[in-house]
Amino acid sequence: MSLTPSWNKILCGMALAFASGCSDTDSSFVYSDRTLSLMPEAQDGIKGETPIAGVKALIDERFGDPQNLKAWMKLPVDFGGANTTVAKIAKSAEGTPALTLAGEDGSELPAKAVFVEFLSGACEGEIAEITEWDAETGVAVLSDSLTGKLAEGDLCSIDRAQVLKSGRGLYMRHCSHCHGTSGDGQGPTAEYLNPRPRDYRHGVFKFTSTNDMSKVSRDDLKRILKYGIPGTYMPSFLLLEEGELHAIVEYVRFLSLRGEYERKLVNEVSGDYSITALESRVGQSESRESIVAELKEFLSADLAEAANSIGDDLAEQWGGADTDEARIIPSVPRVEDSVESRRRGRELYLSKTLNCADCHGMDGAGNGPQTIAFEKNPITNDLYNEPGLHDVWDNLNQPRNLHTGIYRGGRRPIDLFCRIHAGIKGSRMPSFKNTPHEDIWHLVNYILSLPYESEPGATGTEAAAPAAAEVAQ
Amino acid sequence: MATVTPSLGAHGHADDHAHGHGHHEQSFLSKYVFSTDHKVIGIQFLVTTLLMLMVGGALALAVRWQLAFPWGSMPIVGKLFGLFQGEGGQISPEFYTMLFTMHASVMIFLVIIPVLAGAFGNFLIPLQIGADDMAFPILNMLSYWFMWPAIFCFGISFVAGGATAGPANGWTSYPLLSDLAQASPSSGAAQTWWLFGLTLVGVSSMMGSVNYMTTIINMRAPGMTLFRMPLTIWSMFITAILQSFALPVLTAAGFMLVFDRLGSLLPTDIHSVFFIPAGIVVNNAAPTVGGGQPLLWQHLFWFYSHPAVYIMLLPAMGMVSDMLACMCRKPVFGYKPMVYSMAAIAGLGFIVWGHHMFTSGMNPALGMTFMTSTMMIALPSAIKVFNWIGTIWDGNLRFNAVFLNCAGFVAMFVVGGLSGIFMAAVPVDIYFHDTYFIVAHFHYVLFGATLFGVFAAIQFWFPKMFGRLMNDSVQKWHFALTFIGFNGTFFPMHLLGIAGMPRRYADPYLHGYLEHLLPMNQFMTISAILMGFAQFLLLGNFAYSFFYGAKAGRNPWGANGLEWSAPSPPGHGNFDEPPVCYRGPYEYSSPEAEALGQDFILQTTPTPPGVKKSDAHGH
Amino acid sequence: MKKFWALFFIFWPIVALYVCFVAPSRGWWFPSEPMSTLGHQIDGLFYLILFIVTLTFIGTQIAMGYVLWKGATKTPGAKAMFSHGSHKLEIIWTIVPSFILVFISLTQLEVLANIRVISNFPEEARNAPIAEVTARQFEWRIRYPKPGTTLATEPQPGDLYFVNELHVPTNQLVMINLRTQDVQHAFFSPQLRVKQDAVPGLVIPVWFEVEKAGTYDLVCAELCGWGHYKMKARIVAESTREVQQYIADLENAQNEDGVADDTSDDSE
């Protein structure tokens, strides 16, 4: 603003002389360790006259790399851009195509347009740059002629994946140094944080307003972005604009889907074709050639099919998270907070059926017997090195001390209700969805009173004071 | 300049007529490495600090890169070392924090303090007062060799916490950030190593200071009265006093912090709580217990570090006074006011530390006291500036690079001094505290003033160190490029400060009110790169002239000081015969000198017969 | 060449002054007019010092330029002036600056007292802090007292919480209690010209009066770790009625049970 744009450009140009990039970084997605534990042919595919794609290629084909994100139509992600059809084909003064585009179902066209991507017809998959754009008439002059022959009625999309692209820019600026370029929770800052930043690739998010079996909703993600997660290093991004928040949410969904897709795809392959499986099979005197031949068969037929159905499943699950069916709505309003209600809550808390004290401790200090027991890793069946409860990311994840007044998933009664109803996904906090909603409310009342009184009705006791001193929120 | 003759071991080469006292053959190791000769030690300090200057400069350029191209791919660091490969060369915020922390630490503790007191103090003190060496030569050697463990500790701290992190709490290392290992987990053991490094630098400085004081008090040549000492010596003397009184406080504070951080070194929970209040939870660690007070560190730290600012400035002031007088062929204007003002700066320097803490929440009554004392410290600084201008006034100016750097020193010091007034005023400082205004201010003082003074001093005393002259044209280019680059980098920082840009931000443009400052920061970064690369001229010239520079006689500049009566380079024991001092060091263009048909008269030259002695010190 | 170097030293202060002169029109100046009463006083003092400093700067640079130019144009071989200084000049340039410096000091005292001395704080603000602002790595946590009560030092049932956004009434002296949960931070609002460190273990009162409704930046101005730059928040100044409404809305949102109305999801 203070310097003229041209001056700015010169500066940028000078900077380019020193480095490869001015603002964009040339980052890359990494594959998960499990992908890398497959035998090389399964990872990279089998070369030959008709090359067969491996797991990596299947992922890349659908998700691209950070510089070139793919907008795989199947995913329930808002990629941005406007879908249009070709209404008229003409030539511009320079001889390049001048297309008249019509918005899908007569919808309005965007004010700005940079490129157009053809989704059907002879030009399918081609991307062309728009040099002149008139949003009123929908006339787009392309910079170059197309290789295929266009027909009227061909589907095309203007500036597809723009939301994702801007989401990626914002993500690289605000999020990636903790959550990692690939959303694996292994950015450079991650190792210093307690708790560690979320690894999206399981497709699991802890604090949701959706049922225990449902994915996280867009609203949940946005809420976490806006208000942060108290008691952790996830800060509040309240002051980002609504559009920016949306773009980040979509990009996080994209990364989660990529990770989960990769995970499930590898699950199909790893049983028979991981490096360890290969070793044991070779040990059982199978020849490597025969295994590769079998893999070839598997990759070209079974896996391609599996890949499709995985995509469909993911689309259904993630798409379903935003629906009303997925959302937790208490059947009764919150029970009025009273000493009686809290006492009832305390009874439930100690009851055999709910058994909250087993983890959270008799007085809610997060020191129940489970916190000192050694747990088994459910995947490897080995005991963890340290005692206590672990989450699906293999991090020690001890039950909350309920006296601190810090509620990571939010302090509204509905937030606590959801924590109890759906559990905390990925952690050992189970779902209590079969508990009557009224009882959940009693529990909520009891839990909300804990920072201030050690026992229902015992307001202002000495015991509560030290805990209050460390209240964060 | 035309006499380019190869030299046999130009430096430390024993001159034919040196040493009145028992000379014996020395091994290479004891002559050039573990030498007790103050000149060798001085040169060792100089070379070491120039090396560290490049390290600190590289760190600064990395900081500037991030500010100009936030989260862009950082050259060299990002890719070459593979540190941030997965991020496409985009650095992490804790890495940025480490960069500016280490930039400041290296520049302050390994460049500016040792180059002034260590390099020039060592080299010049015995030569200028006519002594054959320091009072405690072995202590002197140790003061250099304690620098290396310090450099080692700072070096370790780069990697102790992993390659992408290091001490990241600012050079001021305020607790609790620097205190609780969990508050700045990327620092980890690195911060403790950093503290050890700091302490070792202190040990080194302390050894030097004791030595300087003793030498200056006890070993002056006959006739070298206190008020015949060059201002360089006065400044070194005052600096040594400052060091020796202020340093113990920092050392104590450093150890307190180390004890608070024991947990980061040993597998134990036992540690002290000097600076840790109770009930603090960071990074979900257990709440702290204890009754410490974080402000205590700030008081102790600034009790040293404010005087340290003058430790980083006074010697340059002294040397510039010497060089200006020589290059203007005029006595220093107001010699005694210069001495008194240096003493006043040092004295007041002890009672102004609180101006670093105006927003810290200390008692406002203290704030008022500190404000007044801080304002008053501007007075001696102003007197010095006026006297320098007076020295240039109507002199016979030699526009060589020595003079230009000295004039640059004065001009930049004026800016640095004036910007200080804003921050001395508490209400105005409330706005400017921890913004780029302060960054501009201290770079104008520490770089604009001190380093320009050092550049001049390197060239001025180079012939005395190595018997050869540095190429003046290259030095002029170096000066011009550095001066332009310097002002292009740091002058706009004043405006950034007024615009409210806080310092130590990895990405200021996150904040809407700072977004429009990006182009200005890009301009500053380009300037900084220019300035950074200009330093290769200095290094190249230094190395070239060491081997191929024009041979210099004893007194290439026609200067008066005792050191110019010694051979270039002086042999072991410095002088041909113990010198006798007949007058002050600044009697340029005096009647005495004219009687000899020249515009200078060495302090060792007796008054020519029939000339009235002009050693006037009334002023 | 001598003249070139003399001009070099004459030229740069001109550039510097020019840059400062055009800075306000280029946006290289204060982010806005001061929006608080104390801000006006601070800016007044700033411009006073700026005036004095600019005059001094021009004076010294002219003197410097003059002596350099004189030196550069001196006939070669001429004798340098032989002088050890001048008593008179030394006395003048000791006394005059000291008066100026003492004058600057004295002008600051009253404003300083207004900002920091607690007994100078207006009674009504002192007795009723409107909120507690707790800095933590790396956000600002705000706690308002339950409507109808006064702010207690420790959290109370019914207190209202928010993050990174502080609502204050305009044209009224407001006091907040500033504290930190972890390391040292600093509460800095550039438009309001307010800055105060949050020191671990202390509760520090900060007061200001916002003159105009609007949204102002709140940032951290003391290194607090890797995310120092991330502590982006805002102060929303609005009429007392709007603040009350905001608090009422906040109370509703905080008691949200997901049943009563399911549209106010994002109003917290």
Task: Taking residues B169-186, report their average pLDDT.
Answer: 90
| Cβ-proximal residues to A324 (8 Å cutoff; 6+ apart), any chain | none
**Tokens 């026609």, located at residue:** B558
Strand pairing report for A139-142 and C160-163: unpaired
Residue A179 at interface with chain C, using a CB cutoff of 8 Å: no
Contact A193 B529 (CB under 8 A): no
Strand pairing report for C233-238 and C165-169: parallel
Contact B519 A231 (CB under 8 A): no
The span from the CA of B492 to the CA of C94, in Å, is 31
Of the candidates A222, A236, A412, the beta carbon closest to that of C256 is on: A412
Category of B458 on φ-ψ map: left (φ > 0), alpha (ψ -120 to 50) or beta: alpha
pLDDT of residue A467: 42
CA C32, C35, C41: angle at the middle one, nearest 5? 100
Tell me which chain A residues have a C-beta less than 8 angstroms from the C-beta of B519: 1-3, 7-8, 11
Chain B residue nearest residue C52, CA to CA: B418
Tell me which chain C residues have a C-beta less than 8 angstroms from the C-beta of B498: 23, 28-30
pLDDT of residue A89: 87
Quick one: tokens of C240? 């007392």
Given a contact as 3+ CB pairs under 8 Å, which chains touch C?
Answer: A, B
Q: Tell me the C-alpha to C-alpha distance, in Å, between residue B509 and each of A7, B481, B500, B501, B513.
A: 19, 29, 12, 9, 8
The answer to whether the beta carbons of residues C210 and C216 sit under 8 Å apart is yes
The answer to whether the beta carbons of residues B72 and B84 sit under 8 Å apart is no
The span from the CA of B48 to the CA of B118, in Å, is 10
The answer to whether the beta carbons of residues A211 and A199 sit under 8 Å apart is no
The span from the CA of C42 to the CA of B464, in Å, is 52
Residue B294 at interface with chain C, using a CB cutoff of 8 Å: yes
The answer to whether the beta carbons of residues A472 and C179 sit under 8 Å apart is no
Closest alpha carbon to B603 in B230, B198, B268? B230
The span from the CA of A194 to the CA of A396, in Å, is 10
The torsion defined by the Cα of A53, A56, A59 and A62, in degrees rounded to 10, comes to -50
Tell me which chain A residues have a C-beta less than 8 angstroms from the C-beta of B284: 194-195, 231-232
The span from the CA of A334 to the CA of A439, in Å, is 10
Contact C164 A239 (CB under 8 A): yes
Per-block mean pLDDT, blocks of 10 residues, chain A (473 long): 43 42 67 92 87 90 88 84 86 85 80 84 83 87 83 85 91 93 92 92 94 94 95 93 94 95 92 90 89 90 88 93 92 92 94 93 90 86 90 90 92 94 93 94 94 78 42 38
Tell me which chain B residues have a C-beta less than 8 angstroms from the C-beta of A177: 87, 90, 92-93
Residue B280 at interface with chain C, using a CB cutoff of 8 Å: yes
Residue A361 at interface with chain C, using a CB cutoff of 8 Å: no
CB neighbours (10 Å) of residue C77? 6
The span from the CA of A161 to the CA of A71, in Å, is 6
Contact C104 B425 (CB under 8 A): yes
Percentage of the residues of chain B whose pLDDT score is greater than 70:
94
Q: Is cis: bond before B126, omega within 30 of 0?
A: no
pLDDT tens, residue by residue, B68-77: 999 988 887 7
The answer to whether the beta carbons of residues B299 and A246 sit under 8 Å apart is no
pLDDT tens, residue by residue, B225-252: 999 999 999 999 999 999 999 999 999 9
pLDDT of residue A6: 45
Of the candidates B331, B399, B480, the beta carbon closest to that of C83 is on: B331
DSSP B228: G
Of the candidates B73, B186, B520, the beta carbon closest to that of A192 is on: B186
Q: Considering Cα of C25, then C30, then C36, then C42, what sign does the dihedral take?
A: negative
Q: Is cis: bond before C223, omega within 30 of 0?
A: no
pLDDT of residue B611: 80
The span from the CA of B34 to the CA of B53, in Å, is 23
Task: Report the DSSP beta bridge partners of residue C139.
Answer: C136
Please state, rounded to an integer, the average pLDDT across all residues of chain B.
Answer: 90
The answer to whether the beta carbons of residues B291 and B277 sit under 8 Å apart is yes
Contact C259 A333 (CB under 8 A): yes
A&B contacts, CB < 8 Å: 119
DSSP for B403-448? HHHHHHHHHHHHHHHHHHHHHHSHHHHHHHTTBHHHHHHHHIIIII
pLDDT of residue A155: 86
The span from the CA of C171 to the CA of C191, in Å, is 15
Q: Tell me the C-alpha to C-alpha distance, in Å, between residue B419 and each of A380, B112, B378, B458.
A: 64, 21, 11, 28
Q: What is the pTM of this model?
A: 0.91
What three-state secondary structure class fits C175? strand
Closest alpha carbon to B391 in B412, B418, B416, B409? B409
The span from the CA of B338 to the CA of B344, in Å, is 10
The span from the CA of A254 to the CA of A260, in Å, is 10
The span from the CA of B250 to the CA of B206, in Å, is 12
Of the candidates A25, A192, A470, the beta carbon closest to that of B87 is on: A25
| Cβ-proximal residues to B317 (8 Å cutoff; 6+ apart), any chain | B231, B235, B342, B384, B449, B453
pLDDT of residue B81: 65
Q: How far is B102 from chain C (nearest CA, A)?
A: 14
Closest alpha carbon to A425 in A154, A207, A230, A256? A207
The answer to whether the beta carbons of residues B321 and B332 sit under 8 Å apart is yes
Q: Considering Cα of A142, then A148, then A149, then A152, what sign does the dihedral take?
A: negative
CA A90 remoteness from chain centre: 43
Tell me which chain A residues have a C-beta less than 8 angstroms from the C-beta of B522: 8, 11-12, 15
- How big is chain B, counted in residues? 619
Q: How far is C157 from chain B (nearest CA, A)?
A: 20
DSSP for B519-552? HHHHHHHHHHHHHHHHHHHHHHHHHHHHHHSPB-
Of the candidates A230, A411, A465, the beta carbon closest to that of C254 is on: A411
Task: Report the DSSP beta bridge partners of residue C197.
Answer: C186
Given a contact as 3+ CB pairs under 8 Å, which chains touch A?
Answer: B, C
The answer to whether the beta carbons of residues B364 and C117 sit under 8 Å apart is yes
The span from the CA of B357 to the CA of B360, in Å, is 5
Flag residues of chain C having pLDDT under 50.
262-268
Helices marked H in B147-187: 147-159
Residue C215 at interface with chain A, using a CB cutoff of 8 Å: no
Q: Which amino acid is at B269?
A: D
Residue A17 CB burial class (10 angstroms; 0-12, 13-18, ≥19): exposed
Residue A388 at interface with chain B, using a CB cutoff of 8 Å: no
Of the candidates A233, A449, A468, the beta carbon closest to that of C155 is on: A468
The span from the CA of A216 to the CA of A204, in Å, is 7
Q: Is cis: bond before A230, omega within 30 of 0?
A: no
Closest alpha carbon to C194 in C166, C224, C155? C166
User: Per-residue pLDDT for B404 more than 90?
Assistant: yes
Question: E strand or H helix at C220, and its extent?
Answer: strand C214-220
Of the candidates A24, A30, A195, the beta carbon closest to that of B86 is on: A30
**Tokens 């109803």, located at residue:** A421
Contact A22 B72 (CB under 8 A): yes
pLDDT of residue A172: 92
